[in-house]
Structure 1
């Protein structure tokens, strides 16, 4: 009988020891980074870090297993911190894990202002930059081992399918529930494959799904062969994915954590009449909504009516700008065409300036009217006049190709007309022989119709 009591006591001792060992948090991985900034223990940042770690530890018994806070309001000593406990652990286990992480934080990352520390049951993080409500996949790490043997031939494929399914369940968690899920798959030889996925609750469902996809991708670097990794954890700041051949979470808690919120109680099935007070409650908000909607629509339409002239002016200005850009030549092009305004290319001089013949790179011949610098006409007035003249087209007008305004120069570029003007034929001793007196008389008569032709010029032949 005494030996039986002794054996029972020993078994009870080992059972209690095993439970205690299982409750103790196990360190997995840490990442310390400073982004070109470090701190010392006695600095203001070091003091604020101790306050932050103390605050996180004090709030680690929360039922949702998540908490974030900030110490100091002004940079560079402001520090942000948070913790996330695994979705299946109790508040007491969460508190112990966060306390261990906070206690070891300054020894794991003694000088860096930014760190992420992962334990098997929690994650603790702090930074001198905001880390709240932001999905981040860096920094991170993957830990694995092969302490358990499996004969399953399709182990890697089953792992890939299982972690994908559990990640989808965690990301699709209903509003108000933890972004946490667990899932199992049966293998040959009576083995079971366990998996877990979790996101921080301060990110959206879409961000959670993207983070978990990144975490699963990390497995491809370590876990393509079953001999290398029968248990692995992909750890990122905003999420984590884990799998193994031995249970590493509370299955019942995992199922409860992803259960949907309780449905609303059913309505009373009685068929009583609707009271007048209920009718008022329905009609008054509806009428008020319609009035507000009508007022909003009226304001929008009125605003559009007021903005229409400005929009039309803006469109006109843009059209004008496009026209001017298409007409404008740069100085280097004109200089190349006229051989840097060579005297050999000068074909005329007048009160307005000089005219040069030129040839563009495409072979087109042009006439460049180089206006006198003494002109008091401003650049904008010159451009406006060019835009107007460019729109005029007539068989008796030389077509304006463009202009150049640069280095205090103002030039008009026309198409080159090789036959010159009438005065060259009247006063040139050689060419005046080409005009006999009957022809000159005919030209004189045509000039008398100038006033009448001007109306036809404007109304019929001129287009813009």
Structure 2
């Protein structure tokens, strides 16, 4: 398949291409890997954004003859563009300059209108975007990899050798100031007799972000190359990793005490045709194939690995237990912390249905969703492996006075908006539309910066919009359903009814006492219109009639609407009859950070509240 060629009638574009090609004939000596034209919006041909892009690429190309790392910006908002490049540190300055010039030409040839793109060569990486990218460990952009078709005879031993060597290189690259994100090393691996390893991060993400980036690549390498490829190259947006049985890099000069004993290297080589497997993320040829992320093998962990990570499901590693099973904290061999859900025997889901659901959920990627890393289906065990979220679940903070006092209104509003965005992604924006059906505060986890992450989507029972309204009212009041009802004078029977918050809020609204709903621990320094708007939205979502509830699209628009008038005027609902009361269930609070209890039926009323009709769900 012929690659697309970039055409433009604008003279500045022609001048830019001439600048790149002038006195430049080294492209054939460089090793091109892949270009990712990121699907995050397009610019118009001959626009100011394109003009800024051309100037930015010209600036980057000019700096490449002086330094092996550079970043810059060009233009004014909304046409500001950000760009950066870094070269492999064992490349000469001349090769670095040639590579960046070639990369700049390639990126405009392959990506004719995308506002964000990245191009990888073995010798350099170049990137631009319409958003800040410096110093950000960005794992949302798809990377690339090449692997050999030839495998070693002892793949398990290779994995162990690489794990030991790469772990030491991660430390050197990330935390040794003199290495600036770059490290190489050799490990003994008969009969080759050695394996040569290289890792590198972009110098703007040194420290923990660099280590995390490299560990993500290593996990991908283990999943991809468990057959034991004799060489592999992996490229992420901010870091890269490579190993080979033959020397391919030039050792950097270092003090004698730090210098490794290495055989004389051979020049960097390109893989031979008989060795090469197709690149995972599309080269421009008809034989290239893309490996789907939905491949269940790439998501599967061995039971031995998970037992090791959780110390054989040790009691002191147990985080809690919910309706679907217990959750354990674990640490994988590469150091990544995970949360492992061990599904109970009561889970009657078949193997095919289980793996299909895992593959579907693993495709969902959003900053407000807990990321599913994989699963284990072995020896009667069904295990789900999630990213570990270090803070507690929302219920454990909201319903604990000592912890809740640190939740100011700004943090609570951020949590409300984050949950809304996560649900909107599940309902509308993801390729696979998901209704959570068991949304509650114990299924909302909080990260280091108190950003909410929704857990257990795809495995539950109830209406999301209704439950979101309940969480909003709980977040504002700082009280659970039971305490909420007791605090505002409901009798003991109603205090056990799930989701009575809606009726209490309606009653307070009609009596002009709605601000009594606000948690006193917030204090008095909060924007009253914003709080009032959140209460309105919470009550609106928690109506008994499902057809009267808004969509999550409408919810997010209302929450972010700066106008104080969003035409939602709740009115008091009548108290349910004893017949309806008997339908309700006694709810017990969950202990698990991925808690999922059944029996979440909404409170029913014979009366209906009056709301402006927005798109019902």
Q: Structure 1 length as normaliser, TM-score?
A: 0.49
TM-score of the two chains, using structure 2 as the length reference: 0.37
Structure with the bigger percentage of helix = 1
Greater strand content = 1
